[in-house]
Chains A and B, each alone.
Chain A
């Protein structure tokens, strides 16, 4: 017997590297995560992680320029959610991508720490099309 076709949600969003658009992105991803089955606190955390990833691109790849291009793909799959982000800013120095050590009062690295804490997998890759960030989060089903 052929299994019924399943249609997954695929949210594609292109935005300038301007922080003014961050609330719109958060406003899109949180309800999507809720519809997929995450609870309110997890939806807030996913929106925060995505916000932090975009903020990192604005600050470090585009050096706070607001005319850069950021492409977002938020794809539902059988496991949960996969977020892919592409930018054409300066490639990240992988040696400097590190989460802030816990239990210190330094202000750097908090965003990266949040992303790694909230998402299950996180990767950065330099590609011919630009800098590619991929993060996934599994939906833990209780039934």
Chain B
């Protein structure tokens, strides 16, 4: 799994590529929590994620709850069919703000 972070105005964009599972989700968790402390808005690009399991979903829920506690924004965009399927299986789609494109995600923040 590869993770990179870049800026788009006041929004930090986190890009993830590869598989998010029990072995790799701690790295994603570390990056998201760290980035959340550095910016008021965080957008996660899921387009290059080939696979995500419940540990990855749990990580996203934790970050979302932390962002709400800190009065910050955490949004998602670029969900592939594979990722969307896991979101539906775990019934978590409704709790996240999900956008099709980066432009929409950044504009919403």
Contact = CB atoms under 8 A, between A and B. Distances in A.
B89 A48 contact: yes
B1 to A, nearest CB: 10
Contacts of A52: 53-54
A93 interface: no
Main secondary structure of the interface of A (DSSP, over half): helix
A23 interface: yes
Contact of B53 (A20, A55, A103, A107): A55
Contact of A48 (B53, B62, B95): B53
A55 B62 contact: no
Interface in A54-69: 55, 58-59
User: Size range of the interface on B?
Assistant: 20 to 34
B9 interface: no
A55 B22 contact: yes
B89 A107 contact: no
B23 to A, nearest CB: 3
Contacts of B57: 107, 110
A110 B59 CA distance: 12
B62 A107 contact: yes
A58 B54 CA distance: 14
Nearest to A100: B90
A132 interface: no
Contact of A22 (B23, B81, B92, B95): B23
B58 interface: yes
A105 B58 CA distance: 9
Given A19-B24, A22-B22, A103-B91, 6 more contacts: A19-B21, A23-B19, A55-B55, A107-B58, A110-B90, A113-B54
A107 B29 CA distance: 13
B65 interface: yes
